[in-house]
Amino acid sequence: MATRFMIMPARRPTNFVLLLMSFQIMFGLLHSVQEWQTISEEENLEMERQLKLINKPPIKSFKTDYGDIFDCIDIYKQHAFDHPLLKDHKVQMEPKNIPKSMMEGESPRLLPNSIKCPPGSVLIKRTTKQDLFMAKQMNHPKSSRFRTTDGAVPSSFAFATVRYRKHNFGAKTTMNVWAPSTSSSQASMSSIWISNGPSEDLNLIEAGWAVIRPLYKDNYTRLFAFWTGGQKNKGCFNYVCPGFVQVHREISLGLVLNQISVYNGVQRDIEIGIFSDGEWWLKYFNQFIGYWPQKLFFYMYGGATKVEWGGHVFGPGNEPTPAMGSGHFPKDGLQNKSAYFKDTQMWDSVHLIYPQPGQLLAYSGRPDCYEAKLTPGVAPNPMDFFYGGPGQCNL
């Protein structure tokens, strides 16, 4: 099979709108973090009140070497159940109807052996004021901060993805992990993303790794997830708003991924999966971390219709854009050099199935800054996806 490489222009507005929808949400966030100083005493008190609501009394807490605090929370008392739709939700400890073979194998530890929550509790990264401040901005998805007219600095974003339109109950992939360089107000994210619904009311679940400087105030690469159930709902990061039911005692969203790939050297992978057995489960290697109950989604009862894999970057519009993936273009070298998604498969609720190569679409919003590329994979895997670039573009 010949190597295929497609860069498609944004032909149909719907594609573009879909992307903007969720990016716009995150964008607003990143941009507004710069206005952190402008917060009033009243707002500060309100945030403290909210934090009390979100951060349930811990059974035990840990501070990592990276300065993050993780709490062990009674599984039944976690913030997820403050969601009005989850009042009578019965906690599921593991997925139903998912083959046990999916839970076999090893998953590298992210925390020292000493960090493990006692039975009956789950590990959850403690929400900070910074998290809240960003979440607060999500209340106004319509006030497009994209093109700010109030004299504030406009935001910029760019993406390079591979897209697959196919009915599914989830997908999995293996992606190498990098630490793309960013300025203190930029973010660079790499993820798998499952969605359904009309563009103006998109339902989506996204998970992967990211460097989000304005949020964490550091340049570590962390595990992250983002979701929205549509219905004019703002999107949600990790545990900031209620919804994601954590079940794992040792792996939390927001954890630092300390094994980073080396350019022209050893590659460090993570395996990420999103699988539906009714609820939408998040899987890290062979471990199910938790799930989004299907009730949270308006359009994802009968599965999803689209999967994307790729990178997206954000930042203020007055700075050159950050690096994506490894910071190198796929065209400048693939093995050990470029960011990838390998061994990608879709879940049809019974089997894992490789995507049909002819229906995969590589797409870059700015091919001069970031590239997305499909290449034949090792059989039976028909395709590997490579993406990324140095950025440094003015958008």
Ligand X SMILES: *[C@@H]1O[C@H](CO)[C@@H](O)[C@H](O)[C@H]1NC(C)=O
| CB-CB contact of 306 with 161 (8 Å) | no
Angle at which helices 129-137 and 41-54 cross, to 10°: 100
Q: How far apart are CA 128 and CA 31, in angstroms?
A: 18
Residue closer to ligand X (CB basis): 17 or 179: 179
Element (H, E) at 27: helix 13-33
336 binds ligand X (CB under 6 A): yes
Q: How far apart are CA 329 and CA 342, in angstroms?
A: 17
Residue closer to ligand X (CB basis): 57 or 265: 265
Residue closer to ligand X (CB basis): 94 or 332: 332
139 binds ligand X (CB under 6 A): no
Give residues 161-180 in contact with ligand X (rule: CB under 6 A): 179
Q: How far apart are CA 314 and CA 19, in angstroms?
A: 13
Q: Is 109 helix (H, G, I), strand (E, B) or coil?
A: coil
Sign of CA dihedral 309, 157, 205, 120: positive
| CB-CB contact of 326 with 388 (8 Å) | yes
**What tokens were used for 154?**
């406009």
Least Å from the CB of residue 221 to ligand X: 9
Write each residue from 275 to 314 as x if it is in contact with ligand X (CB under 6 A), else as -, in one continuous string. ----------------------------------------
266 binds ligand X (CB under 6 A): yes
Least Å from the CB of residue 14 to ligand X: 35
Give residues 178-197 in contact with ligand X (rule: CB under 6 A): 179, 181
Beta strands in 12-146 (DSSP E): 60-63, 69-74, 121-125
Please give the size of the binding site for ligand X, defined by CB under 6 A.
Answer: 7
Residue closer to ligand X (CB basis): 242 or 327: 327
Among the listed residues 14, 97, 139, 335, the single contact to ligand X using CB under 6 A:
335
Give residues 2-41 in contact with ligand X (rule: CB under 6 A): none
Least Å from the CB of residue 41 to ligand X: 31
86 binds ligand X (CB under 6 A): no
**What tokens were used for 44?**
């500060």
Residue with tokens 């929808």: 21
Residue closer to ligand X (CB basis): 53 or 266: 266
Residue with tokens 């009394």: 57
Give residues 217-236 in contact with ligand X (rule: CB under 6 A): 219
Residues that bind ligand X (CB under 6 A): 179, 181, 219, 265-266, 335-336
